[in-house]
Structure 1
Amino acid sequence: MASPTRILWIAILASFVSFLDGTIVNVALPAIDRELGGGLSTQQWVVDGYLITLGALMLLAGSVSDAFGRALVLRIGLVGFGIASVAIALAPDPLILIIARLVQGAAGAFLVPSSLALITSAFSGAARAKAIGTWTSFTTGAMVVGPLIGGVLVDLASWRFAFLINVIPIAVTLWLVRRVKDPERRPDARIDIIGALMCTLGLGGIVYALIEEPRFGW
Protein backbone atom coordinates (compact mmCIF):
# COMPACT_ATOMS: atom_id res chain seq x y z
CA MET A 1 0.00 0.00 0.00
CA ALA A 2 1.41 3.40 -0.97
CA SER A 3 2.07 5.95 1.77
CA PRO A 4 0.29 9.33 1.76
CA THR A 5 3.60 11.06 0.95
CA ARG A 6 4.07 8.80 -2.06
CA ILE A 7 0.50 9.51 -3.20
CA LEU A 8 1.15 13.25 -2.95
CA TRP A 9 4.27 13.06 -5.11
CA ILE A 10 2.45 10.92 -7.66
CA ALA A 11 -0.30 13.54 -7.87
CA ILE A 12 2.19 16.39 -8.15
CA LEU A 13 4.30 14.78 -10.88
CA ALA A 14 1.29 13.62 -12.90
CA SER A 15 -0.29 17.07 -12.90
CA PHE A 16 3.03 18.84 -13.34
CA VAL A 17 3.52 17.65 -16.94
CA SER A 18 -0.07 18.55 -17.84
CA PHE A 19 0.27 22.14 -16.65
CA LEU A 20 3.85 22.44 -17.91
CA ASP A 21 2.87 21.72 -21.50
CA GLY A 22 0.20 24.38 -21.38
CA THR A 23 2.87 27.09 -21.28
CA ILE A 24 6.14 25.52 -22.43
CA VAL A 25 4.90 25.51 -26.03
CA ASN A 26 4.58 29.31 -26.22
CA VAL A 27 8.32 29.98 -26.51
CA ALA A 28 8.74 27.12 -28.99
CA LEU A 29 6.24 28.47 -31.54
CA PRO A 30 8.70 30.57 -33.60
CA ALA A 31 11.10 27.63 -33.89
CA ILE A 32 8.24 25.29 -34.85
CA ASP A 33 7.12 27.71 -37.56
CA ARG A 34 10.65 28.03 -38.96
CA GLU A 35 11.10 24.25 -39.17
CA LEU A 36 7.63 22.96 -40.07
CA GLY A 37 5.90 26.04 -41.49
CA GLY A 38 2.14 26.41 -41.43
CA GLY A 39 1.99 30.05 -40.42
CA LEU A 40 -0.13 31.64 -37.74
CA SER A 41 -3.03 29.18 -37.93
CA THR A 42 -0.73 26.24 -37.17
CA GLN A 43 0.72 28.06 -34.18
CA GLN A 44 -2.78 28.79 -32.90
CA TRP A 45 -3.85 25.16 -33.28
CA VAL A 46 -0.71 23.91 -31.52
CA VAL A 47 -1.66 26.01 -28.48
CA ASP A 48 -5.46 25.85 -28.58
CA GLY A 49 -5.80 22.22 -29.69
CA TYR A 50 -4.19 21.11 -26.44
CA LEU A 51 -6.38 23.39 -24.34
CA ILE A 52 -9.60 22.33 -26.12
CA THR A 53 -9.26 18.61 -25.41
CA LEU A 54 -7.79 19.26 -21.96
CA GLY A 55 -10.70 21.46 -20.87
CA ALA A 56 -13.50 19.60 -22.66
CA LEU A 57 -12.60 16.13 -21.38
CA MET A 58 -11.67 16.95 -17.80
CA LEU A 59 -15.20 16.38 -16.43
CA LEU A 60 -15.46 13.12 -18.36
CA ALA A 61 -12.11 12.03 -16.92
CA GLY A 62 -13.45 12.57 -13.40
CA SER A 63 -16.39 10.23 -13.99
CA VAL A 64 -14.16 7.65 -15.68
CA SER A 65 -11.85 7.82 -12.68
CA ASP A 66 -14.79 7.13 -10.35
CA ALA A 67 -15.98 4.24 -12.50
CA PHE A 68 -12.74 2.43 -13.25
CA GLY A 69 -10.31 3.55 -10.54
CA ARG A 70 -8.09 6.57 -10.04
CA ALA A 71 -4.75 4.79 -10.29
CA LEU A 72 -5.77 2.94 -13.47
CA VAL A 73 -6.99 6.10 -15.17
CA LEU A 74 -3.83 7.90 -14.05
CA ARG A 75 -1.67 5.20 -15.64
CA ILE A 76 -3.63 5.42 -18.89
CA GLY A 77 -3.27 9.20 -18.91
CA LEU A 78 0.47 9.01 -18.24
CA VAL A 79 1.08 6.48 -21.03
CA GLY A 80 -1.07 8.47 -23.46
CA PHE A 81 0.66 11.72 -22.55
CA GLY A 82 4.08 10.14 -22.97
CA ILE A 83 3.26 8.65 -26.37
CA ALA A 84 1.77 11.95 -27.56
CA SER A 85 4.84 13.86 -26.33
CA VAL A 86 7.16 11.58 -28.32
CA ALA A 87 4.90 11.96 -31.38
CA ILE A 88 5.10 15.75 -31.06
CA ALA A 89 8.88 15.62 -30.77
CA LEU A 90 9.08 13.49 -33.94
CA ALA A 91 6.36 15.32 -35.90
CA PRO A 92 7.41 15.72 -39.57
CA ASP A 93 4.70 18.22 -40.50
CA PRO A 94 2.13 20.58 -38.94
CA LEU A 95 -0.81 18.14 -39.30
CA ILE A 96 0.87 15.38 -37.28
CA LEU A 97 1.97 17.95 -34.73
CA ILE A 98 -1.57 19.30 -34.23
CA ILE A 99 -3.10 15.81 -33.99
CA ALA A 100 -0.51 14.80 -31.41
CA ARG A 101 -1.24 17.95 -29.40
CA LEU A 102 -4.96 17.11 -29.41
CA VAL A 103 -4.17 13.62 -28.11
CA GLN A 104 -1.78 15.07 -25.54
CA GLY A 105 -4.50 17.38 -24.23
CA ALA A 106 -6.96 14.47 -23.99
CA ALA A 107 -4.41 12.44 -22.00
CA GLY A 108 -3.68 15.44 -19.80
CA ALA A 109 -7.37 15.69 -18.95
CA PHE A 110 -7.13 12.26 -17.35
CA LEU A 111 -4.19 13.30 -15.15
CA VAL A 112 -5.54 16.31 -13.26
CA PRO A 113 -8.82 14.99 -11.76
CA SER A 114 -7.27 11.59 -11.00
CA SER A 115 -4.38 13.27 -9.20
CA LEU A 116 -6.67 15.36 -7.04
CA ALA A 117 -8.90 12.33 -6.34
CA LEU A 118 -5.88 10.37 -5.13
CA ILE A 119 -5.05 13.15 -2.68
CA THR A 120 -8.59 13.35 -1.29
CA SER A 121 -8.65 9.57 -0.79
CA ALA A 122 -5.26 9.44 0.96
CA PHE A 123 -5.61 12.49 3.25
CA SER A 124 -8.30 13.82 5.56
CA GLY A 125 -8.92 16.90 7.70
CA ALA A 126 -6.13 19.44 8.00
CA ALA A 127 -3.67 17.08 6.27
CA ARG A 128 -5.88 17.05 3.18
CA ALA A 129 -5.98 20.85 3.01
CA LYS A 130 -2.20 21.01 3.35
CA ALA A 131 -1.71 18.34 0.68
CA ILE A 132 -4.03 20.12 -1.77
CA GLY A 133 -2.20 23.38 -1.09
CA THR A 134 1.14 21.71 -1.83
CA TRP A 135 -0.26 20.14 -4.99
CA THR A 136 -1.64 23.51 -6.14
CA SER A 137 1.64 25.31 -5.53
CA PHE A 138 3.62 22.81 -7.59
CA THR A 139 1.14 22.74 -10.48
CA THR A 140 1.04 26.54 -10.53
CA GLY A 141 4.84 26.53 -10.49
CA ALA A 142 4.81 24.30 -13.57
CA MET A 143 2.93 26.98 -15.50
CA VAL A 144 5.45 29.60 -14.38
CA VAL A 145 8.63 27.66 -15.18
CA GLY A 146 7.26 26.28 -18.46
CA PRO A 147 8.40 29.22 -20.63
CA LEU A 148 11.79 29.28 -18.87
CA ILE A 149 12.44 25.57 -19.46
CA GLY A 150 11.14 25.82 -23.01
CA GLY A 151 13.33 28.83 -23.76
CA VAL A 152 16.48 27.09 -22.50
CA LEU A 153 15.78 23.94 -24.52
CA VAL A 154 14.90 25.85 -27.70
CA ASP A 155 18.06 27.98 -27.48
CA LEU A 156 20.48 25.21 -26.51
CA ALA A 157 19.02 22.24 -28.38
CA SER A 158 15.70 22.09 -30.28
CA TRP A 159 12.02 22.84 -29.73
CA ARG A 160 11.45 19.08 -29.92
CA PHE A 161 13.21 18.59 -26.57
CA ALA A 162 10.67 20.88 -24.93
CA PHE A 163 8.15 18.05 -25.38
CA LEU A 164 10.49 15.07 -25.15
CA ILE A 165 11.48 16.14 -21.62
CA ASN A 166 8.04 14.97 -20.44
CA VAL A 167 9.19 11.37 -20.69
CA ILE A 168 11.35 11.71 -17.55
CA PRO A 169 8.68 12.76 -14.98
CA ILE A 170 6.17 10.40 -16.64
CA ALA A 171 8.52 7.42 -16.23
CA VAL A 172 9.15 8.34 -12.58
CA THR A 173 5.42 8.69 -11.89
CA LEU A 174 4.62 5.33 -13.53
CA TRP A 175 7.24 3.71 -11.30
CA LEU A 176 5.79 5.35 -8.18
CA VAL A 177 2.17 4.54 -8.99
CA ARG A 178 2.75 0.80 -9.46
CA ARG A 179 1.97 0.12 -5.77
CA VAL A 180 -1.22 2.19 -5.63
CA LYS A 181 -4.33 0.01 -5.39
CA ASP A 182 -7.76 1.20 -6.46
CA PRO A 183 -10.86 0.60 -4.34
CA GLU A 184 -13.68 -1.49 -5.73
CA ARG A 185 -15.52 0.03 -8.67
CA ARG A 186 -18.59 2.08 -7.78
CA PRO A 187 -21.66 0.35 -9.24
CA ASP A 188 -23.57 3.63 -9.61
CA ALA A 189 -20.81 5.49 -11.48
CA ARG A 190 -21.91 6.77 -14.89
CA ILE A 191 -19.92 8.09 -17.83
CA ASP A 192 -21.50 10.89 -19.87
CA ILE A 193 -20.07 10.13 -23.31
CA ILE A 194 -22.60 12.34 -25.13
CA GLY A 195 -21.85 15.28 -22.83
CA ALA A 196 -18.10 14.88 -23.44
CA LEU A 197 -18.61 14.85 -27.22
CA MET A 198 -20.84 17.93 -27.04
CA CYS A 199 -18.26 19.80 -24.93
CA THR A 200 -15.46 18.89 -27.32
CA LEU A 201 -17.41 19.78 -30.47
CA GLY A 202 -18.79 22.96 -28.91
CA LEU A 203 -15.42 24.30 -27.79
CA GLY A 204 -13.67 23.02 -30.90
CA GLY A 205 -16.24 24.56 -33.23
CA ILE A 206 -15.91 28.01 -31.70
CA VAL A 207 -12.11 27.89 -31.78
CA TYR A 208 -12.15 26.56 -35.35
CA ALA A 209 -14.31 29.47 -36.47
CA LEU A 210 -12.06 32.05 -34.82
CA ILE A 211 -8.80 30.56 -36.13
CA GLU A 212 -9.91 29.67 -39.68
CA GLU A 213 -12.11 32.72 -40.37
CA PRO A 214 -9.30 34.55 -42.24
CA ARG A 215 -9.08 31.63 -44.70
CA PHE A 216 -12.72 30.55 -45.08
CA GLY A 217 -14.73 33.54 -43.89
CA TRP A 218 -17.59 33.52 -41.40
Structure 2
Amino acid sequence: MAEKTKFVLEQYLQTLKSMLNENKEIEDIAKKLYKRYKSAFDLVFKYSTPNDTSEIGNILRELIEQEKLLLPYNSNKTYVRFQPIFLHKNIEKLKDKGLFPKDGNLENNTIYLYEFNIRNHVVNFDLKIGAGEQEVRERLFEIYRKHKSFFNRVDKNLQPKWHQSFQKLILSENDIGDFIESGDTEKLRKILTEKFRELIEQDLPKYIQILESELL
Protein backbone atom coordinates (compact mmCIF):
# COMPACT_ATOMS: atom_id res chain seq x y z
CA MET A 1 0.00 0.00 0.00
CA ALA A 2 1.33 3.43 -0.91
CA GLU A 3 2.31 5.58 2.06
CA LYS A 4 -0.06 8.39 1.06
CA THR A 5 -2.98 5.97 0.79
CA LYS A 6 -2.10 4.38 4.11
CA PHE A 7 -1.92 7.82 5.77
CA VAL A 8 -5.35 8.83 4.45
CA LEU A 9 -6.96 5.58 5.62
CA GLU A 10 -5.36 5.86 9.07
CA GLN A 11 -6.69 9.42 9.44
CA TYR A 12 -10.13 8.26 8.33
CA LEU A 13 -10.14 5.45 10.91
CA GLN A 14 -8.96 7.83 13.61
CA THR A 15 -11.82 10.20 12.76
CA LEU A 16 -14.34 7.37 12.90
CA LYS A 17 -13.05 6.28 16.31
CA SER A 18 -13.38 9.82 17.63
CA MET A 19 -16.91 10.17 16.24
CA LEU A 20 -17.93 6.87 17.79
CA ASN A 21 -16.26 7.77 21.10
CA GLU A 22 -13.93 4.79 20.76
CA ASN A 23 -10.68 6.67 21.09
CA LYS A 24 -9.02 4.59 23.81
CA GLU A 25 -6.55 7.28 24.76
CA ILE A 26 -9.24 9.92 25.26
CA GLU A 27 -11.43 7.42 27.10
CA ASP A 28 -8.61 6.55 29.53
CA ILE A 29 -7.87 10.21 30.20
CA ALA A 30 -11.57 10.96 30.78
CA LYS A 31 -11.89 8.08 33.25
CA LYS A 32 -8.81 9.23 35.19
CA LEU A 33 -10.07 12.83 35.34
CA TYR A 34 -13.54 11.78 36.49
CA LYS A 35 -12.11 9.48 39.16
CA ARG A 36 -9.86 12.24 40.47
CA TYR A 37 -12.42 15.07 40.34
CA LYS A 38 -15.67 13.12 40.68
CA SER A 39 -17.42 15.53 43.08
CA ALA A 40 -16.66 18.53 40.86
CA PHE A 41 -17.87 16.78 37.70
CA ASP A 42 -21.05 15.58 39.45
CA LEU A 43 -21.80 19.15 40.54
CA VAL A 44 -21.34 20.43 37.00
CA PHE A 45 -23.56 17.68 35.58
CA LYS A 46 -26.26 18.39 38.16
CA TYR A 47 -26.62 22.06 37.26
CA SER A 48 -25.76 22.05 33.57
CA THR A 49 -27.76 19.06 32.30
CA PRO A 50 -31.23 20.05 31.06
CA ASN A 51 -33.86 18.44 33.28
CA ASP A 52 -36.49 17.33 30.80
CA THR A 53 -39.16 15.63 32.91
CA SER A 54 -41.89 15.75 30.28
CA GLU A 55 -41.51 12.02 29.56
CA ILE A 56 -42.29 11.26 33.22
CA GLY A 57 -45.61 13.08 32.93
CA ASN A 58 -46.42 11.36 29.64
CA ILE A 59 -45.89 7.90 31.13
CA LEU A 60 -47.95 8.71 34.23
CA ARG A 61 -50.82 9.96 32.07
CA GLU A 62 -50.74 6.72 30.07
CA LEU A 63 -50.81 4.63 33.23
CA ILE A 64 -53.79 6.57 34.57
CA GLU A 65 -55.71 6.28 31.31
CA GLN A 66 -55.13 2.52 31.25
CA GLU A 67 -56.29 2.00 34.85
CA LYS A 68 -59.99 1.13 35.16
CA LEU A 69 -60.15 2.29 38.80
CA LEU A 70 -59.16 5.85 37.90
CA LEU A 71 -60.28 8.79 35.82
CA PRO A 72 -57.83 11.44 34.52
CA TYR A 73 -58.26 14.86 36.10
CA ASN A 74 -56.97 18.38 35.40
CA SER A 75 -53.22 18.04 34.87
CA ASN A 76 -50.32 20.17 33.70
CA LYS A 77 -46.55 19.85 33.30
CA THR A 78 -45.90 19.77 37.05
CA TYR A 79 -48.99 17.97 38.37
CA VAL A 80 -50.49 14.81 36.87
CA ARG A 81 -53.83 14.17 38.56
CA PHE A 82 -56.57 11.59 38.73
CA GLN A 83 -59.76 10.78 40.61
CA PRO A 84 -60.71 7.31 41.87
CA ILE A 85 -63.87 5.88 40.32
CA PHE A 86 -64.92 5.25 43.94
CA LEU A 87 -65.66 8.96 44.38
CA HIS A 88 -67.92 9.08 41.35
CA LYS A 89 -69.83 5.96 42.39
CA ASN A 90 -70.37 7.23 45.93
CA ILE A 91 -70.82 10.95 45.40
CA GLU A 92 -74.38 11.01 46.79
CA LYS A 93 -73.34 9.11 49.94
CA LEU A 94 -70.44 11.53 50.42
CA LYS A 95 -72.87 14.45 50.16
CA ASP A 96 -75.26 12.85 52.66
CA LYS A 97 -72.43 12.44 55.17
CA GLY A 98 -71.25 16.02 54.71
CA LEU A 99 -68.06 14.88 53.03
CA PHE A 100 -68.74 16.71 49.79
CA PRO A 101 -70.55 19.99 49.05
CA LYS A 102 -74.30 19.43 48.49
CA ASP A 103 -74.35 21.43 45.27
CA GLY A 104 -70.84 20.45 44.16
CA ASN A 105 -69.58 18.17 41.39
CA LEU A 106 -66.33 16.30 40.89
CA GLU A 107 -65.53 17.93 37.56
CA ASN A 108 -64.49 21.24 39.10
CA ASN A 109 -63.93 20.49 42.79
CA THR A 110 -60.49 19.92 44.35
CA ILE A 111 -61.35 19.05 47.95
CA TYR A 112 -60.30 15.49 47.07
CA LEU A 113 -56.98 15.99 45.32
CA TYR A 114 -54.78 13.14 44.04
CA GLU A 115 -51.66 14.22 42.17
CA PHE A 116 -48.20 13.21 41.07
CA ASN A 117 -45.94 16.16 41.83
CA ILE A 118 -43.16 16.21 39.20
CA ARG A 119 -40.03 18.17 40.09
CA ASN A 120 -36.56 18.19 38.55
CA HIS A 121 -35.10 16.29 41.49
CA VAL A 122 -37.96 14.10 42.77
CA VAL A 123 -41.47 12.83 41.96
CA ASN A 124 -43.98 12.28 44.77
CA PHE A 125 -47.58 11.20 44.88
CA ASP A 126 -49.53 13.62 47.07
CA LEU A 127 -53.00 13.20 48.51
CA LYS A 128 -54.30 16.58 49.63
CA ILE A 129 -57.35 18.27 51.00
CA GLY A 130 -57.81 20.98 48.42
CA ALA A 131 -59.67 24.25 48.35
CA GLY A 132 -63.43 24.29 48.84
CA GLU A 133 -66.23 24.42 51.39
CA GLN A 134 -64.58 24.77 54.78
CA GLU A 135 -66.99 22.56 56.76
CA VAL A 136 -66.39 19.68 54.35
CA ARG A 137 -62.63 20.22 54.53
CA GLU A 138 -62.73 20.12 58.34
CA ARG A 139 -64.76 16.89 58.42
CA LEU A 140 -62.37 15.26 55.98
CA PHE A 141 -59.40 16.53 57.99
CA GLU A 142 -60.74 14.91 61.18
CA ILE A 143 -61.17 11.59 59.37
CA TYR A 144 -57.60 11.75 58.11
CA ARG A 145 -56.34 12.59 61.59
CA LYS A 146 -58.12 9.54 63.02
CA HIS A 147 -56.11 7.36 60.64
CA LYS A 148 -52.60 8.73 61.02
CA SER A 149 -51.13 5.29 60.45
CA PHE A 150 -52.08 5.76 56.80
CA PHE A 151 -52.15 9.55 56.39
CA ASN A 152 -48.44 10.02 57.01
CA ARG A 153 -48.36 13.78 56.35
CA VAL A 154 -51.46 15.03 58.11
CA ASP A 155 -50.69 17.80 60.63
CA LYS A 156 -52.36 19.19 63.73
CA ASN A 157 -53.71 22.27 61.95
CA LEU A 158 -55.70 22.31 58.73
CA GLN A 159 -54.02 24.58 56.18
CA PRO A 160 -56.25 27.24 54.59
CA LYS A 161 -56.01 26.11 50.95
CA TRP A 162 -53.97 22.95 50.24
CA HIS A 163 -53.36 20.48 53.05
CA GLN A 164 -50.89 17.67 52.49
CA SER A 165 -52.22 14.44 54.02
CA PHE A 166 -50.44 11.48 52.42
CA GLN A 167 -47.25 11.27 50.41
CA LYS A 168 -45.42 8.48 48.62
CA LEU A 169 -42.05 8.67 46.87
CA ILE A 170 -42.35 7.66 43.21
CA LEU A 171 -38.96 8.64 41.74
CA SER A 172 -35.90 9.55 43.79
CA GLU A 173 -33.24 12.08 42.82
CA ASN A 174 -31.01 9.20 41.71
CA ASP A 175 -33.80 7.72 39.56
CA ILE A 176 -34.30 11.01 37.74
CA GLY A 177 -30.56 11.62 37.46
CA ASP A 178 -30.06 8.21 35.88
CA PHE A 179 -32.82 8.88 33.36
CA ILE A 180 -31.52 12.32 32.41
CA GLU A 181 -28.00 10.95 31.99
CA SER A 182 -28.91 7.77 30.09
CA GLY A 183 -32.17 8.70 28.37
CA ASP A 184 -33.32 5.13 29.02
CA THR A 185 -37.09 5.54 28.67
CA GLU A 186 -37.82 1.85 29.08
CA LYS A 187 -36.05 1.72 32.43
CA LEU A 188 -37.94 4.84 33.50
CA ARG A 189 -41.24 3.29 32.43
CA LYS A 190 -40.47 0.12 34.39
CA ILE A 191 -39.74 2.01 37.62
CA LEU A 192 -42.80 4.26 37.21
CA THR A 193 -45.07 1.31 36.46
CA GLU A 194 -43.87 -0.61 39.54
CA LYS A 195 -44.46 2.38 41.81
CA PHE A 196 -47.79 3.15 40.18
CA ARG A 197 -49.03 -0.43 40.60
CA GLU A 198 -47.93 -0.41 44.24
CA LEU A 199 -49.89 2.80 44.80
CA ILE A 200 -53.04 1.52 43.08
CA GLU A 201 -52.97 -2.02 44.45
CA GLN A 202 -51.76 -1.39 48.00
CA ASP A 203 -52.26 2.23 49.06
CA LEU A 204 -55.44 3.19 47.23
CA PRO A 205 -57.47 0.22 48.63
CA LYS A 206 -56.48 1.24 52.17
CA TYR A 207 -57.61 4.78 51.49
CA ILE A 208 -60.93 3.66 50.00
CA GLN A 209 -61.52 1.33 52.94
CA ILE A 210 -61.18 4.29 55.32
CA LEU A 211 -63.70 6.34 53.34
CA GLU A 212 -66.08 3.39 53.06
CA SER A 213 -66.11 3.01 56.84
CA GLU A 214 -67.27 6.62 57.12
CA LEU A 215 -70.13 6.04 54.69
CA LEU A 216 -71.76 3.22 56.66
Q: TM-score, normalised by structure 1?
A: 0.31
**Structure number with bigger Rg:** 2
Higher relative contact order at CA 8 Å, sep ≥6: structure 1 or structure 2? 1
Q: Which has the higher strand share?
A: 2
Q: Which has the higher helix share?
A: 1
